[in-house]
């Protein structure tokens, strides 16, 4: 590669602009050499797409759709849900069961097995020869039949986790079922690096509790009235790999206990300004950390309270600073007392828990809270941090960046069935919230990200599931927004996430809101796989752009996984490759971390080393390059990236 990828003066500014810019605006900025355009100045190609089930209008930017397949006959018209991956296969949940697709040739997925077994949501996970499926709805049957039990209490009902053996992938066998009190909306498979004999499954259930007559021991009473309550807890199932039929609940950790005062994080700028104004005006401002809410006490009440403090100390006249302090303490006590007297005020369950075993951490998205959990003892997860956010309605899922210094939570405002991306819906609602994870493992709010193109009221749209794309040196994620399509964005700078690619279709139905769009989308071994609720399965490839170079894409494709579950985050490890070194060089061009002439020389050195046929000569060339780059690092404005490049060269030198 020669020459400059990015005209020097525009790079930084174009990145800033792109934080909110539409595709067209970003491209225009590129051609105009960095004239910052206002975000909404150009029409977004996603706006106004024609509706249709099979012939909807389509907009794509920096991704190419290489394949789309319709569901098998039995699954048409039934919701496609989450995905799991093993080897060359992708397993797609459906409210009527699940389908296994062979994507060895991603341009032509072929159906291997469809398994009819109705139950919502049929979220799937896989580990070795075992397939796990969630059942939540009342219609689920133990025998996979299609006549849901009609009685509120039925011995034929399955609400919980189904376990199948897929050793013979064309002939799955039901080898276990675990019934749970609230069914299983979704679940998380936790592979404990220290335990080779078992896997653990965390059950998330948001539906109402079953009657005790159907599943003994299920109680809907608050825990202070009934210590066995199914509320305020998650369930941990231990699955012996050798004997999956013995899978059973081993603990029901109450990770929410005493969750009354998590450290609060920053608010939206408008809220902050309002609070600052109130403070400046001498008003009483209370922070209710447990809900991320700041409350400005009305003057009359503050006055009344202060006078009460004066009276209580037997004084007269104007309240003093000490009265003010006492009043503040009094209010705080009242809040605490109220919380205490009415039992646990934390969430009663989690929606999703994303485990990251390599870090021993999990991100729990639990009703009104985002939690950070220590999962090193899998059956006994412990809460280490909690955050709330006044802009978040319903914490839905969590994704860590690869090195575990950040976590992104989503807000599934409206439950996924509502059109929450209209131009009238605030950008902070139904969005992602990005937090950094400090050395003390506390969470600090940084910013929101929401897919920026306004959608119609015929399109259900809100933040949903996604995964990291293994571009070395950057934090890039692909995410579902239901009928808002898929959005790929960079959140390397936690304060300034920006979109770099997207794909969207018009509404499924032009006349009314009909559920559709992307349920979930994940990067898996070089491609992006999308579960489309109404239309089937899509596969995409990234296209090079000024925001993501061919080298960066090639480097991402070097990461190979044996399997992937949506809520089990793998740590990406990059094998030594020239693509990775060149990706870092491209990133240094973008950041201005090395002078243009030096970059040209570095790229030439990489090209020459790759062309050398003698491994010894290649090793010497790469070692010399690494050494010179290490010397460059000290003087660079982006020394961390120069060091990454030097390390990449060293690893290449050592590679066979």
Partner 1 sequence: MFATPVAAQVTTAPAPRDPAAFEALYRARLDSARLRFTAADVRFMRDMIHHHAQAVTISQWAPTHGASASIRTLAARIINAQRDEIALMIAWLRDRKQPAPALHEMDGQLMVHEPAGDGAAMSHDGHAGHAMPGMLSDAQLKELDAARGAEFDRLFLTYMIAHHKGAVTMVDQLFATDGAGQDEAVFKFASDVQVDQRTEVQRMELMLGALRGGAPSR
Footprint (CB under 8 A) of partner 1, residues 224-283: 245, 271, 274
Segment interacting with partner 1, rule: CB under 8 A, options 372-380, 387-395, 478-486, 555-563: 387-395
98: β partners:
93, 115
Alpha carbons 68 and 539: distance in angstroms, whole number: 6
Nearest Cα neighbor of 274 from 295, 289, 292 is 295
Binding mask 176-195 for partner 1 (x = CB under 8 A): xx------------------
Binding mask 351-370 for partner 1 (x = CB under 8 A): ----------------xx--
By CB under 8 A, residue 533 contacts partner 1: no
Q: Which is nearer to partner 1, 455 or 587 (CB)?
A: 455
Is residue 496 a contact partner of residue 428, using CB atoms and an 8 Å limit? no
Judged by CB under 8 A, which of 429, 448, 449, 523 binds partner 1?
429
Least distance (Å) between residue 309 CB and partner 1: 8
Judged by CB under 8 A, which of 16, 28, 58, 145 binds partner 1?
145
Judged by CB under 8 A, which of 8, 31, 76, 403 binds partner 1?
76
248: β partners:
238
Alpha carbons 548 and 542: distance in angstroms, whole number: 9
| Residue 62 burial (CB count, 10 A) | 20
Nearest Cα neighbor of 189 from 85, 110, 342, 103 is 85
**What's the CA dihedral at 71, 77, 81, 85 to 10 degrees?**
-10
Judged by CB under 8 A, which of 333, 441, 560, 627 binds partner 1?
333
Alpha carbons 599 and 611: distance in angstroms, whole number: 18
Is residue 387 a contact partner of residue 424, using CB atoms and an 8 Å limit? no
* Phi-psi category of residue 50: left, alpha or beta, with phi > 0 → left and psi -120 to 50 → alpha: beta
Q: Which is nearer to partner 1, 514 or 639 (CB)?
A: 514
Q: Which is nearer to partner 1, 244 or 576 (CB)?
A: 244
Least distance (Å) between residue 516 CB and partner 1: 10
Interaction with partner 1 in 573-632: which residues (CB under 8 A)? none
Three-class DSSP labels, 582-647: HHHHHHHHHHCCCCHHHHHHHHHHHHHHHHCCCHHHHHHHHHHHHHHHHHHHHHCCCHHHHHHHHH
Q: Which is nearer to partner 1, 75 or 449 (CB)?
A: 75
Segment interacting with partner 1, rule: CB under 8 A, options 30-38, 83-91, 419-427, 562-570: 419-427
Query: In this structure, what DSSP letter does residue 415 have?
Result: G
Least distance (Å) between residue 613 CB and partner 1: 49
Query: Helix, strand or coil for residue 416?
Result: helix
Least distance (Å) between residue 166 CB and partner 1: 12
Least distance (Å) between residue 34 CB and partner 1: 37
Q: Which is nearer to partner 1, 336 or 607 (CB)?
A: 336
Least distance (Å) between residue 122 CB and partner 1: 12
Q: How many residues bind partner 1 (CB under 8 A)?
A: 99
Least distance (Å) between residue 154 CB and partner 1: 10
Residues with Cβ within 8 Å of residue 80, at least 6 apart in sequence: 71, 92, 93, 94, 519, 531, 532, 533, 534, 536, 537
How many CA within 13 A on the CB side of residue 376? Answer: 4
Least distance (Å) between residue 494 CB and partner 1: 24
Least distance (Å) between residue 191 CB and partner 1: 23
Alpha carbons 578 and 382: distance in angstroms, whole number: 42
Judged by CB under 8 A, which of 192, 411, 425, 538 binds partner 1?
425
Segment interacting with partner 1, rule: CB under 8 A, options 74-82, 521-529, 538-546, 631-639: 74-82
Judged by CB under 8 A, which of 88, 167, 171, 510 binds partner 1?
171
Interaction with partner 1 in 287-306: which residues (CB under 8 A)? 288, 290-291, 293-298, 300-302, 304-305
Instruction: Supply the angle between the helices 299-312 and 321-341 in degrees, to the nearest 10.
Output: 100
Least distance (Å) between residue 160 CB and partner 1: 11
By CB under 8 A, residue 421 contacts partner 1: no
Interaction with partner 1 in 85-144: which residues (CB under 8 A)? 95, 97, 111-117, 120, 137-139, 142-144
Judged by CB under 8 A, which of 4, 31, 50, 55 binds partner 1?
55
Nearest Cα neighbor of 29 from 62, 3, 7, 46 is 7
Least distance (Å) between residue 520 CB and partner 1: 17
Segment interacting with partner 1, rule: CB under 8 A, options 82-90, 332-340, 469-477, 594-602: 332-340
**What's the CA dihedral at 419, 425, 430, 435 to 10 degrees?**
160
| Residue 203 burial (CB count, 10 A) | 27
Least distance (Å) between residue 268 CB and partner 1: 10
Alpha carbons 346 and 440: distance in angstroms, whole number: 22
Alpha carbons 444 and 23: distance in angstroms, whole number: 30
Structure tokens at 255: 């990770």
Interaction with partner 1 in 335-354: which residues (CB under 8 A)? 335, 338-339, 342, 345-349
Least distance (Å) between residue 390 CB and partner 1: 7
- Burial label, 66 (beta-carbon count in 10 A; 0-12, 13-18, 19+): middle
Judged by CB under 8 A, which of 101, 284, 540, 584 binds partner 1?
284
Least distance (Å) between residue 467 CB and partner 1: 24
Judged by CB under 8 A, which of 512, 597, 614, 616 binds partner 1?
512
- Judging by DSSP bridges, how do beta strands 406-411 and 97-102 pair with one another? unpaired
Segment interacting with partner 1, rule: CB under 8 A, options 169-177, 467-475, 584-592, 625-633: 169-177
């Amino acid at each position: 590669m020669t020459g400059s990828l990015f005209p020097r003066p525009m790079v930084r500014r174009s990145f800033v602009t792109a934080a909110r810019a539409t595709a067209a605006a970003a491209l225009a900025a590129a051609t105009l050499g960095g004239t910052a355009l206002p975000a909404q100045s150009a029409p977004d190609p996603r706006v106004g797409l024609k509706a249709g089930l099979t012939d909807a209008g389509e907009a794509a930017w920096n991704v190419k759709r290489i394949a789309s397949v319709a569901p098998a006959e039995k699954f048409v018209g039934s919701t496609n849900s989450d995905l799991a991956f093993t080897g060359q296969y992708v397993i797609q949940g459906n409210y009527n069961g699940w389908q296994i697709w062979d994507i060895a040739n991603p341009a032509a997925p072929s159906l291997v097995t469809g398994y009819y077994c109705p139950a919502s949501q049929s979220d799937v996970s896989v580990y070795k020869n075992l397939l796990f499926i969630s059942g939540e709805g009342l219609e689920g049957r133990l025998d996979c039949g299609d006549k849901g039990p009609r009685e509120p209490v039925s011995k034929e009902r399955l609400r919980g986790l189904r376990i199948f053996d897929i050793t013979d992938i064309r002939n799955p066998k039901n080898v276990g079922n675990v019934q749970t009190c609230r069914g299983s909306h979704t679940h998380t498979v936790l592979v404990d690096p220290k335990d080779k004999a078992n896997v653990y499954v965390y059950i998330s259930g948001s539906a109402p509790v079953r009657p005790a007559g159907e599943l003994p021991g299920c109680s809907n009473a608050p825990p202070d009235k009934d210590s066995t309550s199914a509320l305020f807890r998650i369930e941990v199932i231990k699955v012996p790999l050798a004997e999956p039929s013995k899978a059973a609940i081993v603990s029901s950790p109450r990770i929410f206990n005493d969750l009354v005062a998590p450290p609060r994080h920053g608010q939206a700028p408008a809220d902050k300004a309002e609070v600052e104004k109130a403070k400046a005006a001498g008003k009483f401002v209370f922070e209710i950390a447990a809900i991320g809410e700041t409350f400005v006490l009305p003057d009359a009440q503050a006055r009344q309270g202060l006078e009460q403090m004066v009276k209580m100390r037997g004084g007269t006249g104007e309240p003093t600073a000490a009265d003010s302090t006492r009043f503040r303490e009094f209010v705080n006590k009242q809040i605490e007392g109220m919380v205490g007297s009415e039992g646990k005020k934390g969430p009663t369950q989690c929606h999703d828990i994303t485990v990251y075993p390599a870090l021993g951490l999990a991100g729990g998205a639990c009703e009104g809270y985002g939690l950070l959990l220590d999962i090193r003892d899998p059956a006994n997860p412990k809460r280490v941090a909690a955050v709330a956010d006044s802009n978040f309605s319903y914490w839905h899922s969590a994704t860590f960046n690869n090195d575990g210094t950040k976590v992104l939570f989503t807000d599934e405002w409206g439950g996924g069935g509502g059109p929450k991306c209209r131009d009238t819906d605030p950008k902070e609602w139904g969005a992602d919230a990005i937090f950094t994870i400090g050395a003390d493992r506390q969470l600090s709010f940084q910013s929101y990200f929401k897919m920026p193109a306004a959608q119609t009221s015929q399109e259900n749209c809100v933040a949903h599931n996604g995964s990291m794309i293994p571009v070395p040196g950057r934090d890039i994620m692909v995410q579902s927004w239901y009928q808002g399509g898929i959005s790929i964005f960079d959140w390397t700078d936690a304060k300034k996430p920006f979109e770099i690619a997207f794909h969207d279709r018009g509404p499924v139905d032009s006349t009314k809101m009909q559920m559709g769009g992307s349920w979930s989308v994940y990067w898996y071994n070089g491609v992006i796989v999308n579960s489309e609720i109404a239309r089937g399965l899509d596969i995409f490839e990234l296209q090079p752009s000024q925001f993501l170079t061919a080298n960066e894409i090639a480097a991402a494709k070097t990461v190979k996984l044996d399997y992937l579950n949506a809520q089990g985050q793998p740590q990406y490890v990059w094998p030594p490759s020239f693509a990775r070194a060149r990706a870092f060089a491209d990133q240094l061009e973008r950041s201005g971390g090395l002078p243009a002439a030096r970059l040209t020389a570095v790229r030439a050195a990489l090209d020459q080393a790759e062309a050398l046929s003698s491994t010894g000569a290649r090793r010497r060339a790469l070692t010399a390059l690494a050494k010179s780059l290490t010397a460059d690092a000290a003087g660079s404005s982006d020394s961390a990236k120069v060091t990454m490049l030097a390390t990449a060269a060293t690893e290449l030198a050592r590679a066979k």
